[in-house]
Amino acid sequence: MDIYLSVNNREQVICLPVLPAEFTISKPQKNETFETVTQGELKLIGLPGLKGITINSFFPVRDYPFLRDRNYKGFEYVYIIDKWIEAKYPIRLIITETPINMVCCVDDFSYTIKKDGDLYYTLVLSQFMLVNTV
């Protein structure tokens, strides 16, 4: 399995060098609850909300045998993601060996520099709906 992030129809692509131990996809449902006089609470099933995913891993500053990609090191990944955020690019997330292939926006990107120099990060993405202009 590999995790890819790309922008502008694969104009720039990064493969996350270290796979997270796990990741969770959230799929919220926009249901509504109403209080009635005679029947108490009623639940109306709403439309699906935007999917989300949080990825926790690290960007290494040195070579490790388990790396999935060796194109960049440490802060180079941070610079690329920061550049995408500042440019307000939607990001395509593809996780191979899964059906996950979605356009996202970055909700949060934070990182911590550990004493060995590796950058431990949290990347929070949410689904971005491309609007059709007819």
Q: Which residue has the higher pLDDT, 38 or 78?
A: 78
Query: Residue 60 and residue 62: Cα distance in Å, rounded?
Result: 6
pLDDT, residue 130, reads: 81
Closest CA to 74 of 98, 92, 57, 55: 57
Architecture of domain 3-127: Beta Barrel (2.40)
pLDDT, residue 65, reads: 92
Percent of the chain with pLDDT over 70: 100
Place of tokens 């099933």: 45
Structure tokens at 95: 């996780």
pLDDT interval class at 88 (50, 70, 90)? very high
pLDDT, residue 122, reads: 96
